[in-house]
Amino acid sequence: MFSFFKKDKSTKVEKPQSLKERLFKSRKKLGSGLASLLLGKKAINDDLLDELEMLLITADIGINTTDKVLESVRQNASRKILKDSDGVYEFLKTELAKLLIEDNQLDTDINGTYVILVVGVNGAGKTTTIGKMVKHFQSQGKSVMLAAGDTFRAAAVEQLKVWGERNDITVVAQSTGSDAASVIFDAYQSAQAKNIDILIADTAGRLHTQGNLMQELEKIKRVITKQNEAAPHEVMLVIDGGAGQNAVNQAKEFNKTVKLSGLSITKLDGTAKGGVLFAISDELKLPIRFIGVGEGIDDLKLFNTKEFIDALFD
């Protein structure tokens, strides 16, 4: 009788999760881990530093970066700038934040078509990130076109077309097996002719150890640069955040072949290895453009240093 008072569950709108909630595994590992080790005015001695070292390494900060950070803790402790473990917590938060590059936003406002070449290992989240980026750029009022440069995997073109349809934009594609560089070449010409603001080129996943495939990537980049020496304006490496320290090696190898200009880190919603962002930023000195925190179209966040640090530590 009173059934019409019952709430219809199907129409219930779920509150979007905050970045803090999305990053909860990394937050537990790094933020809460450091808090339980450091808060409570303990003496800064070798035992504490050993524990700290272990924690930072297992949180995927990486050995080199951990060494560097611990060295400054030691120096500041011996100069009595850091007096007890409470101070170390705040100090670490600041030191880690300094490793992230502040100026990390893409500036796509150029005269002509801005070209983003997206590269990375298999399954890193390239195509998904491209789909999400389209929505992001469209919401800034930009026109976007996609180039289906993954001509290797059978379903890849279809996957990109689905994202294209979702965002109602053109996807330039040829059949599977055709030359990726020529697909992207055609797409660039078409984007320029149509005064498109941003062209995003997908590429096939490849391991950084596969020499021939890495050469193909180099060729793709060369073909774009031949049309316009300023292009591609962004060579973005997409990295699966769950890859931990492997991600650092991937980034180094891709950087050697196709000089990267930015990074996007995906799948930070499901991993405790978010600390790897500090290691990669420190070792490669590259800006992080976006982070992926879920599979949905809105689950891509512009990377903001302060927000990221707060989500991990506050």
User: Which residues are at the interface with ligand GTP (CB under 6 A)?
Assistant: 120, 122-128, 150, 153, 156, 205, 266-267, 269-270, 292-295, 299
- For residue 165, the minimal CB distance to Mg ion (Å) is 16
- For residue 307, the minimal CB distance to Mg ion (Å) is 27
Q: Which is nearer to ligand GTP, 274 or 287 (CB)?
A: 274
Q: Which is nearer to Mg ion, 22 or 126 (CB)?
A: 126
Q: Which of 22, 27, 126, 273 binds Mg ion (CB under 5 A)?
A: 126
Q: Which is nearer to ligand GTP, 95 or 150 (CB)?
A: 150
| 297 neighbors 132 (Cβ within 8 angstroms) | yes
User: Which is nearest to 187 in space by CA: 118, 239, 139, 105?
Assistant: 118
Report how far apart, in Å, the C-alpha atoms of 313 and of each of 98, 157, 216, 219, 293 are: 14, 40, 42, 43, 17
Q: Which is nearer to Mg ion, 110 or 154 (CB)?
A: 154
Nearest-5° angle of CA 291, CA 120, CA 281?
A: 50
| 302 neighbors 9 (Cβ within 8 angstroms) | no
208 part of the interface to Mg ion, by CB under 5 A: no
- For residue 114, the minimal CB distance to ligand GTP (Å) is 21
**Total interface residues for Mg ion by CB under 5 A:** 2
Cα distance between residue 113 and residue 195, in whole Å: 7
Cα distance between residue 268 and residue 143, in whole Å: 28
| 149 neighbors 180 (Cβ within 8 angstroms) | yes
Cα distance between residue 58 and residue 235, in whole Å: 30
- For residue 157, the minimal CB distance to Mg ion (Å) is 10
- Which residue has 């279809």 as its token pair? 158
127 part of the interface to Mg ion, by CB under 5 A: yes
Q: Which is nearer to Mg ion, 77 or 204 (CB)?
A: 204
- For residue 115, the minimal CB distance to Mg ion (Å) is 18
Total number of residues shown for the chain? 314
- Tell me whether the omega of the peptide bond preceding residue 16 falls within 30 degrees of 0, making it cis: no
| 303 neighbors 289 (Cβ within 8 angstroms) | yes
Instruction: Tell me the window of 11-19, 33-41, 121-129, 222-230 that interacts with Mg ion (CB under 5 A).
Output: 121-129
206 part of the interface to Mg ion, by CB under 5 A: no
Q: By Cβ distance, which residue is nearest to Mg ion?
A: 127
- For residue 205, the minimal CB distance to ligand GTP (Å) is 2
Q: Which is nearer to Mg ion, 48 or 160 (CB)?
A: 160
Q: In sequence order, what are the beta bridge partners of 147? A: 172, 201
Q: Which is nearer to ligand GTP, 19 or 82 (CB)?
A: 19
Which residues contact Mg ion by CB under 5 A?
126-127
